[in-house]
Amino acid sequence: MTSMATGTRSRDGKQTRDAIVAAAKRLMQIKGYHATSLDDVLSESGAGKGTFYHYFKSKEDLGYAILDEVVSSFISQTLDPCFSDPAGRPLAQIRCFLDRVLAAQRASSCVGGCPLGNLASELSDVHEGFRARLAGIFRAWRTRLTQALEDAQRRGDVAAECRPEAAAQFVVASLEGAILMAKVAKDIRVMEQCVDELKRYLTVYEPRSR
């Protein structure tokens, strides 16, 4: 009986913590980190102040938890489905990834933009902790694309003149810029055009003999 009760409390506790994180993520994606107050989060999540401080030391601690959730969701829903098959064709994997990023923006109707990009633009100059974590996340994203392009070169699917790290950097920067522009314009066609151009960009490095 004790074991069952402990398990139930653990599940309830996780649900409460997840509800706080989800509420704060929704608010911060629209209003920004600084403009979202603790009272806003408590009102949106339905949690009390004591409950909040049971799970989080501070608003900063909550921000780190949101980053962790955003990264976990991005990996499981966008990156892994395209790159999980070691036998997959690397360029096809990258195109799959581009399509998934586009689909996510289409589903959100260009509202909110990229949570990572939003936090990076708001906090990188004023909060070293967030800047360092965000830099690491973008670095990991670029590394995944770099590895795919290097693998494609080894297979002969990408020409030798391609510089995988520079190309990966260009793809990431272009996507982030496109997401921001689509958010400002409230027009998914901005994102669609960027994804189409990035796909054409990748074909430049395909061997000419093919």
Report the distance separating Cα 157 and Cα 42, nearest Å.
52
Domains 1-56 and 60-203 share a fold: no
Are the C-beta atoms of residues 58 and 26 closer than 8 Å to each other? no
What does CATH list as the number for 60-203? 1.10.357.10
Between 201 and 1, residue with greater pLDDT: 201
Report the distance separating Cα 45 and Cα 96, nearest Å.
35
The one-letter amino acid code at 7 reads: G
Q: Which fold has domain 1-56?
A: Arc Repressor Mutant, subunit A (1.10.10)
What residues does each domain of the chain span? Answer: 1-56, 60-203
Query: Who contacts 5 (Cβ-Cβ below 8 Å, separation ≥6)?
Result: none
> How long is the chain?
210
Q: For residue range 73-86, list pLDDT tens digits in order.
A: 888 888 889 988 87
pTM confidence score: 0.78
Report the distance separating Cα 58 and Cα 52, nearest Å.
9
| pLDDT band at residue 209 under the 50/70/90 scheme | low
Residue 10 confidence (pLDDT) above 70: no
